Structure 1
Amino acid sequence: MSLLTEGEGKRHSTSSHPQYDPRRPSVTTVLPAGDVPNFEGLTADEAALVALGYKQEFKREFSLWTTFCVSFAVLGLLPSFASTLYYGMGYAGTGGMVWGWIISWIFIQCVAMGMAELCSSMPTSGGLYYAAAVLAPPGWGPFAAWITGWSNWMVQVTGAPSVDYALSAMILAAASITHPGYVPTDWQTFLLTVFVMLIHGCISSMPTLWIARFNSYGSTLNMVALLVVIIMIPTSVTGTDTTPKFFPSKQVWTIQNGTDWPDGVAVLMSFIAIIWTMSGYDAPFHLSEECSNANIAAPRAIVMTSGVGGLAGWALQLVVAYTVVDITEALESDLGQPWASYLVQVMPRNTALAILGLTICCGFFMGQGCMVAASRVTFAYARDDCFPFSSWIKQVNKHTYTPVNAVWFNTIVGICLLLLIFGGEVAIGAIFSVGAIAAYVAFTIPIFIRVFFVGERFRRGPWHLGKFSKPIGAIACSFILVMVPILCLPSVRGNSLTAELMNWTIVVYGGPMMFVLIWWFASAHKWFHGPVINVEHHMIGRDEVVEGVENSSTSDAHSIPGKKGDIDATQKSAADLQ
Structure 2
Amino acid sequence: MDSGEKRLNELGYKQELRREMTLFKTLAISVSTVTLFTGITPLYGSSLLYAGPAPLVWGWVVVSFFTWFVGIAMAEICSSFPTTGSLYFWAAHLAGPKWGPLASWCCAWLETIGLIAGIGTQAYAGSQTLQIIILLCTGTNKDGGYFAPKGVFLCMYMGLTIIWAILNTFALNVIAFIDIISIWWQVVGGMVIVVMLPLVALSRQSASYVFTHYETTPETTGIRSAAYAVILSFLVSQYSLYGYDSAAHLTEETKGADRNGPIAILSSIGIISVFGWAYILALTFSIQDPSYLFDVNNETAGAFVPGQILYDAFHGRYHNSTGAIILLCVIWGSFFFGGLSITTSAARVVYALSRDEGIPFSKFWRRVHPKRKVPSNAVWLCAAVCILLGLPILKVNVVFTAITSIATIGWVGGYAVPIFARMVMEENNFRPGPFYLGRASRPICLVAFLWICYTCSVFLLPTSYPLKLNTFNYAPIAVGIGMTLIMLWWILDARKWFKGPVRNIDIQNGMV
Q: When the two structures are superposed, what TM-score results if normalisation uses the length of structure 1?
A: 0.82
Q: CA deviation at 1:177?
A: 1.8
What is aligned with 1:575? none
Deviation string, structure 1 residues 215-274 (Cα, Å, up to 9, x no partner): 1112211211111110111111123xxxxx223325542332345153333222223212
Amino acid at match of 1:262: S
What is aligned with 2:497? 527
Among residues 192, 212, 215, which one is paired with 1:228 in the alignment?
A: 192
Deviation string, structure 1 residues 172-205 (Cα, Å, up to 9, x no partner): 1111123232221111011112112111111112
Tell me, in whole angstroms, the C-alpha distance in 2 between the residues paired with 1:147 and 1:287.
Answer: 21
What is aligned with 2:99? 140
Q: Aligned pair 1:362/2:326, yes or no?
A: no
What is aligned with 1:308? 271
Percentage identity across paired residues of the two chains: 29
Deviation string, structure 1 residues 363-407 (Cα, Å, up to 9, x no partner): 211111111111111111111111112111111111111111111
Q: CA deviation at 1:93?
A: 2.1
Tell me, in whole angstroms, the C-alpha distance in 1 between the residues paired with 2:380 and 2:459.
Answer: 30
Moved more, 482-491 or 253-262: 253-262
Question: Which secondary structure does the structure 2 equivalent of 1:347 belong to?
Answer: helix
Tell me: CA distance 1:377–1:326, structure 2 relative to 1, closer, same or farther (3 Å): farther
What is aligned with 1:411? 383
What is aligned with 1:218? 182
Deviation string, structure 1 residues 262-300 (Cα, Å, up to 9, x no partner): 333322222321222222201010000000000000110
Among residues 382, 388, 395, which one is paired with 2:354 in the alignment?
A: 382
Question: Which secondary structure does the structure 1 equivalent of 2:12 belong to?
Answer: coil
Tell me, in whole angstroms, the C-alpha distance in 1 between the residues paired with 2:508 and 2:391.
Answer: 42
Tell me: CA distance 1:297–1:492, structure 2 relative to 1, closer, same or farther (3 Å): same
Q: Which runs of 4+ in 1 moved over 4 A?
A: none
Contact 1:127–1:286 under 8 Å retained in 2: yes
Amino acid at match of 1:104: V
Q: Aligned pair 1:188/2:160, yes or no?
A: no
Contact 1:176–1:183 under 8 Å retained in 2: yes
Q: CA deviation at 1:328?
A: 5.0
Moved more, 519-528 or 143-152: 519-528
Contact 1:96–1:270 under 8 Å retained in 2: yes
> Which segments of 5 or more consecutive residues in structure 1 lack a partner in the other structure?
1-41, 240-244, 541-556, 558-567, 571-578
What is aligned with 1:35? none
Tell me, in whole angstroms, the C-alpha distance in 1 between the residues paired with 2:68 and 2:433.
Answer: 19
For these two proteins, the number of residue pairs brought into alignment is 494
Larger helix proportion of the pair: 2
Contact 2:79–2:262 under 8 Å retained in 1: yes
Tell me, in whole angstroms, the C-alpha distance in 1 between the residues paired with 2:62 and 2:441.
Answer: 20
Deviation string, structure 1 residues 5-60 (Cα, Å, up to 9, x no partner): xxxxxxxxxxxxxxxxxxxxxxxxxxxxxxxxxxxxx4433221111111101111
Among residues 234, 237, 245, which one is paired with 2:201 in the alignment?
A: 237
Tell me: CA distance 1:460–1:266, structure 2 relative to 1, closer, same or farther (3 Å): farther
Tell me, in whole angstroms, the C-alpha distance in 2 between the residues paired with 1:317 and 1:302.
Answer: 22
Tell me, in whole angstroms, the C-alpha distance in 2 between the residues paired with 1:274 and 1:57.
Answer: 37
Moved more, 372-381 or 418-427: 418-427
Among residues 333, 338, 354, which one is paired with 2:305 in the alignment?
A: 338
What is aligned with 1:396? 368
Tell me: CA distance 1:87–1:61, structure 2 relative to 1, closer, same or farther (3 Å): farther
Question: Which secondary structure does the structure 2 equivalent of 1:477 belong to?
Answer: helix
Contact 2:283–2:306 under 8 Å retained in 1: no
Tell me, in whole angstroms, the C-alpha distance in 2 between the residues paired with 1:331 and 1:505.
Answer: 25
Deviation string, structure 1 residues 103-148 (Cα, Å, up to 9, x no partner): 0110011101111111000010110100100111441111100110
What is aligned with 1:155? 114
Among residues 494, 499, 504, which one is paired with 2:469 in the alignment?
A: 499
Contact 2:55–2:230 under 8 Å retained in 1: yes
Tell me, in whole angstroms, the C-alpha distance in 1 between the residues paired with 2:385 and 2:494.
Answer: 22
Tell me, in whole angstroms, the C-alpha distance in 2 between the residues paired with 1:411 and 1:251.
Answer: 40
Moved more, 273-282 or 187-196: 273-282
Q: CA deviation at 1:486?
A: 1.8
Tell me, in whole angstroms, the C-alpha distance in 2 between the residues paired with 1:396 and 1:453.
Answer: 35
What is aligned with 2:173? 209
What is aligned with 1:550? none
Question: Which secondary structure does the structure 2 equivalent of 1:425 belong to?
Answer: coil
Contact 1:64–1:301 under 8 Å retained in 2: yes
Question: Which secondary structure does the structure 1 equivalent of 2:496 belong to?
Answer: helix
What is aligned with 2:422? 450
Q: CA deviation at 1:207?
A: 5.0
Amino acid at match of 1:447: I
Contact 2:10–2:507 under 8 Å retained in 1: no
Question: Which secondary structure does the structure 2 equivalent of 1:53 belong to?
Answer: coil
What is aligned with 2:285? 322
Tell me, in whole angstroms, the C-alpha distance in 2 between the residues paired with 1:534 and 1:328.
Answer: 61
Q: CA deviation at 1:97?
A: 1.4
What is aligned with 1:290? 253
What is aligned with 1:24? none
What is aligned with 1:509? 479
Q: When the two structures are superposed, what TM-score results if normalisation uses the length of structure 2?
A: 0.92
Q: Aligned pair 1:131/2:90, yes or no?
A: yes
Q: 5 Å matches for 1:161-180?
A: 161-179=120-138, 180=140
Amino acid at match of 2:50: Y
Contact 2:294–2:302 under 8 Å retained in 1: no
What is aligned with 1:273? 236
What is aligned with 2:409? 437
Contact 1:163–1:367 under 8 Å retained in 2: yes
Contact 1:455–1:470 under 8 Å retained in 2: no
Among residues 52, 60, 77, which one is paired with 2:19 in the alignment?
A: 60
Amino acid at match of 1:484: C
Tell me, in whole angstroms, the C-alpha distance in 1 between the residues paired with 2:97 and 2:332.
Answer: 48
Moved more, 350-359 or 477-486: 477-486
Q: 5 Å matches for 1:25-40?
A: none
Among residues 181, 184, 206, which one is paired with 1:247 in the alignment?
A: 206
Contact 1:252–1:322 under 8 Å retained in 2: no
What is aligned with 2:62? 103
Tell me, in whole angstroms, the C-alpha distance in 1 between the residues paired with 2:182 and 2:495.
Answer: 42
What is aligned with 1:463? 435
Amino acid at match of 1:528: F
Tell me: CA distance 1:92–1:455, structure 2 relative to 1, closer, same or farther (3 Å): farther
Tell me, in whole angstroms, the C-alpha distance in 2 between the residues paired with 1:306 and 1:110.
Answer: 11
Tell me: CA distance 1:43–1:108, structure 2 relative to 1, closer, same or farther (3 Å): closer
Deviation string, structure 1 residues 499-547 (Cα, Å, up to 9, x no partner): 2222211112222111111111111111111101122x2785xxxxxxx
Contact 2:205–2:288 under 8 Å retained in 1: no
Question: Which secondary structure does the structure 1 equivalent of 2:501 belong to?
Answer: coil
What is aligned with 2:318? none
Tell me, in whole angstroms, the C-alpha distance in 1 between the residues paired with 2:330 and 2:445.
Answer: 37
Amino acid at match of 2:314: M
Question: Which secondary structure does the structure 1 equivalent of 2:425 belong to?
Answer: helix
Question: Which secondary structure does the structure 1 equivalent of 2:372 belong to?
Answer: coil
What is aligned with 2:43? 84
Contact 1:93–1:327 under 8 Å retained in 2: no
Contact 1:219–1:365 under 8 Å retained in 2: no
Amino acid at match of 2:189: A
